[in-house]
Amino acid sequence: MTDVVTPGLFITLEGGDGSGKSTQAQLLTDWLEAAGHTVVRTREPGGTEVGVEIRQIVLHHRGEVSPRAEALLYAADRAQHVATLVRPALARGEIVIQDRYLDSSVAYQGAGRVLGGPEVRDLSLWAAEGLLPHLTLLLDLDETAARGRLDADNKVFDRLEAEKGEFHARVRAAFLDLAAAEPDRFLVLDAAAPIDEIAAVIRARVATLL
């Protein structure tokens, strides 16, 4: 399946829970907007009205959600998001900055839930009609540091965050494997570095794409 060429720029942020994706997405958005670019800042799951409902099920449903149902829910969220928000923005020539995309499905459902990376990737690509990001920023953080940040936030864990250490270790390894397999699309960042340092590395890379 091939990507559909669009005039805009599609940048995704990936990484484990607590790796600082949202902070970096916001800093990048502010920098691009200050330079006069139109930016659409969004996320998965939950970037559309339908997605908000799916997000509620997939993250907060109290009973069992089977691994395949979970993968399909993320894929459904993605299909709606890409069709109604991401592609139209890219077609208008805008910059889409998005927390999480198909690499999260490959890492969390493919490796975390052990459904198999290639199958989950194919499912996502089908949902998104082949749309791949121009750049994916991977905020890599070891499990202990990530857990420490989440605990410090004092939040109630969602279904994925509540998973055990081995689950998150598989997720992290899968993200790094994805980055190694597509070095041109991925920029791997040490999420333990100071926020401003990470932001500067991101800006330098994004500047080459503008």
Positions that interact with ligand TYD (CB under 6 A): 17, 43-45, 59, 74, 99-100, 104-105, 108-109, 158, 160-161
- Partners of 75 in beta bridges: none
In the numeric block, the tokens 């939950």 are attached to: 46
Nearer to ligand TYD, 8 or 15 (CB): 15
Nearest in space to 14 (alpha carbons), one of 138, 110, 177, 134: 138
* Of residues 201, 199, 139, the one with CA closest to residue 171: 139
As measured in angstroms, the least distance from the Cβ of 76 to ligand TYD is 11
Name the residue whose CB lies closest to ligand TYD: 108
Amino acid code (one letter) for 43 = R
Residues 15, 138: contact at Cβ < 8 Å? yes
Q: How far is the CB of 61 from ligand TYD (least distance, A)?
A: 13
- Cβ at position 44, least distance to ligand TYD in Å: 4
By beta-carbon proximity to ligand TYD, the closer residue of 99 and 140 is 99
The residue (of 54 and 206) whose beta carbon lies closer to ligand TYD is: 54
Please list, residue by residue across 95-104, b when 16 or more beta carbons sit within 10 angstroms of its beta carbon and e when fewer do: bbbbbbbbbb
Taking the complex as a whole, how short is the minimal distance between the CB of residue 66 and ligand TYD, in angstroms?
Answer: 14
